[in-house]
Structures are given as C-alpha cells and as structure tokens.
C-alpha cells in the first residue's frame, strides 16, 4: 500500500511529543501532557482521520514528511526552517497520531523516514507513506 496526502492548517499545530509537564504529588513526580500538546494532538488526529486506511498496516513502513510553516515574509517561502521545533520532535507527535488513528499497529514499524521543515505561505504537512513489501 502507498498513500500521499496533505494536511492543511490555519497555523502549524504548536506542540511536540517532548513537551511534558511534571508535578510532584506525595513526593513523587507525575508527568502529564501539556495543554498545547493535547490541542496539537487533537488537531492532527482530526486532520488524519479522513486519510485513515481501511486496515492498519502490519508491514514495515517508509515514511516521508515535510512540514511547511506559515510565514508572512514572501522572501522566506520555500526556504529551509533552521529553527525550533526540531524535526524529530515534530515527527514523533505525527507518528503517534498516525498510530492512534490506525495507519499502522505500532510506529516501530517505520523502518525508514525522511523529514524536512520549510517556510511557506500556508501551514501544511505533506505525508507520504508506503509499506515495504517483503
């Protein structure tokens, strides 16, 4: 199976999987997902649902993702975005959401990935994924 799609947003979701909160309860740390991460997860999950495959893949996956961050400065459009957030943090939240929606059973199935982040006129995530047939 191979699929490619684009997720469009008013502005890029503003949370990454690494943004955890911690509180101390009875002397023990308790970790939780911050509000902006919950909102980003919800926004990504809703956008992904329309592209959900009929059945979650059980095969190895090749995943390619390009994050296009919206900026008003036309001179930046198409240029790489060398600032935060890090690509690995962006990718992790997206893969978690794709797992939750049912693209595959476990994101450990992703055996190869390409990720990039660029400036653009509109906030968009371009996703391409395919099963490795073996």
| Per-residue pLDDT tens digits for 11-42 | 999 876 565 677 788 888 877 667 888 999 99
**Residue-range domains of the chain with CATH:** 2-131 (3.30.1330.70)
**Local structure of 75: helix, strand or coil:** helix
Q: What is the pLDDT of residues 65-84, one digit of tens each?
A: 999 999 999 999 999 999 99
Give, as one character, the DSSP assignment of residue 86: P
Q: What is the pTM of this model?
A: 0.88
Q: How far is residue 46's CA from residue 95's CA, in Å, rounded to a whole number?
A: 14
User: Residue holding tokens 């095969």?
Assistant: 59
Specify whether the CB–CB gap between 131 and 57 falls below 8 A: yes
Q: Which token pair is 9?
A: 């947003």
């Amino acid at each position: 199976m191979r699929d490619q799609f684009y997720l469009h947003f008013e502005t890029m979701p503003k949370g990454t999987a690494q943004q955890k909160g911690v509180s101390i309860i009875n002397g023990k740390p308790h970790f939780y997902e911050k509000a902006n991460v919950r909102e980003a997860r919800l926004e990504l999950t809703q956008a992904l649902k329309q592209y959900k495959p009929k059945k979650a893949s059980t095969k190895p996956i090749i995943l390619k993702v390009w994050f296009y961050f919206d900026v008003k400065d036309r001179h930046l459009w198409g240029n790489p975005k060398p600032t935060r957030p890090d690509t690995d943090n962006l990718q992790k939240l997206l893969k978690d959401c794709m797992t939750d929606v049912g693209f595959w059973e476990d994101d450990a199935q992703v055996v190869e990935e390409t990720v990039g982040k660029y400036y653009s006129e509109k906030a968009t995530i371009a996703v391409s994924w395919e099963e490795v047939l073996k």
